[in-house]
Amino acid sequence: MTTQIQQQPERVRPEPIKAVPVRHPGRWVTAVVVVVLSAMFVHLLLTNKHFEWSFIFSDSGQGQPGVMFLRPVLDGLVGTIELTITSMLIGVALGVVIAIMRLSPNRILAGAAWVYTWVFRAIPRLVLAILFGNLGILWARIGFGLPFGKQIGALFGMHDFSGQIFSIKASELLTGFVAGMLALGLSEAAYMAEIVRAGIQSIDVGQSEAASALGLSRGQVLRRIVLPQAMRVIVPPTGNETIAMVKDTSLVAYVPVGRELFFQLSAVGTRTFQVLPVLVGACLWYLILCSVLMIGQYFVERHFGRGYGTGGRARRRLRDLSVESSGRIVLTDGNGKEPAL
C-alpha cells in the first residue's frame, strides 16, 4: 500500500455574511446607571464639608500633619503589618500540618485535625481575640516542663516535685499583641488547613502512587511532587486570606492592643471628636495595604500558574499549530485505488 496526496480543487471563497450586530439595551442602561451613581459618589466626596479632607491629609490650621500621618497612627500601621505577617505565618505553617493530619490514615490524627477545624471555624475571631486576651484569669503563672509533674511526683512519693523547668506570669507572656496574634493565627490555621487539603486532593493520586513506586517516602512525595503542583490551587485563596487578615487585625483593638492602626485612629477620633474623618482615614489606609497585597497576589499567581490554561504563551503556540491546509492525505493500494474500509 502506498500513500498518495490528492490535491483538492481550489474552493471559491463565499461572500461574507452580512451580520447584524445584536442590540443590548440592558447593558447600556446598566452602564448609564453605574456612571450616574459614580458621579454622585464623587460629588459627595468633593462637596460635603463633613469629610474634613484637610484634617485627614494635612491639618494646616495647626501646622501638624493630617490624622493619617500622625506618629501614633504610623506606629499603629507598622503594628498592623507585623500582626498580619505573624498571624499568617502561624496560620499557614499550622494549617499545612493540620491538612496533612486530616489526610492521614491514622484515625486519631485525622479526628484531632477535624475537631480543630470544627472548633476554630465555628467561633468568631472577635470572640477568640477577647477570650485569649483574658486567659490570664485561668492561670496566674504559666509553667513549662513535664506535663502532670505534680501528679507524677505524688505517685512516686516526691511531693515537692513539680516538673517545671521555669514559669512566667501570665500577664507578662500573654500581652495584648501576643493574645491577638495567637487568636488570629490559630483561627487562620483552620481555614488554611481546608485550603491546603483541597490543593493536595486536586492532584491526581496516580502521581503519588508513581512517586511511591520509585521509592520516595510520603514526606518526599508531598514536598517534591504534590505540594509544588498544588500551589496553583493553594495560592489564590491564601492571597485572599492574607487580605482578609489585614482587615481582621482591627478586631484586636477590643483586646485591647494599643499598637494597632484602628485603635490609634479611634483614639484620635475620641480626643478630637472628628469621628467620620478618622474612619475615612482608616478606610484609606486599609485600602492602600490591601491594594499592595492584591498586586503581589497577581504576580505570585502568575508565577505558580505557568504552563496551565490557554493564556499567553500557550494560546500563541496553539494558534501557530492550527495551520489550515487545502489538501488531504489519502491511503491507496498498489493500483492507486483507495482501499475499502
Q: Say which CATH number the domain at 296 has.
A: 1.10.3720.10
Q: Do the domain assignments include residue 335?
A: no
The span from the CA of 38 to the CA of 17, in Å, is: 40
DSSP H stretches of helix in the chain:
25-47, 53-57, 71-102, 107-122, 125-133, 149-155, 170-173, 176-201, 205-213, 218-220, 227-248, 261-272, 275-304, 313-321
Decide: helix, strand or coil at residue 309. Answer: coil
Q: Do the domain assignments include residue 87?
A: yes
The C-alpha torsion from 86 through 250 and 135 to 174, rounded to 10°, is: 40
The tally of domains found in the chain comes to: 1
Q: Do the domain assignments include residue 248?
A: yes
Count other Cβ atoms within 10 Å, centred on residue 74: 15
Q: Do the domain assignments include residue 273?
A: yes
Boundaries of domain holding 260: 53-305
Q: Do the domain assignments include residue 320?
A: no
Q: Do the domain assignments include residue 280?
A: yes
142: alpha, beta or left, given left = phi > 0 and alpha = psi -120 to 50? beta
Q: Do the domain assignments include residue 227?
A: yes
Q: Do the domain assignments include residue 333?
A: no
Q: Tens-of-pLDDT digits for all 341 residues of the chain?
A: 555 555 666 677 777 777 788 888 899 999 999 999 999 999 999 999 888 888 888 764 566 788 899 999 999 999 999 999 999 999 999 999 999 999 999 999 999 999 999 999 999 999 999 999 888 888 877 777 777 777 777 777 776 777 777 777 877 888 899 999 999 999 999 999 999 999 999 988 888 888 888 888 888 888 888 988 899 999 999 999 999 999 999 999 988 888 899 999 999 998 988 899 999 999 999 999 999 999 999 999 888 887 776 555 555 555 655 544 444 444 444 455 555 54
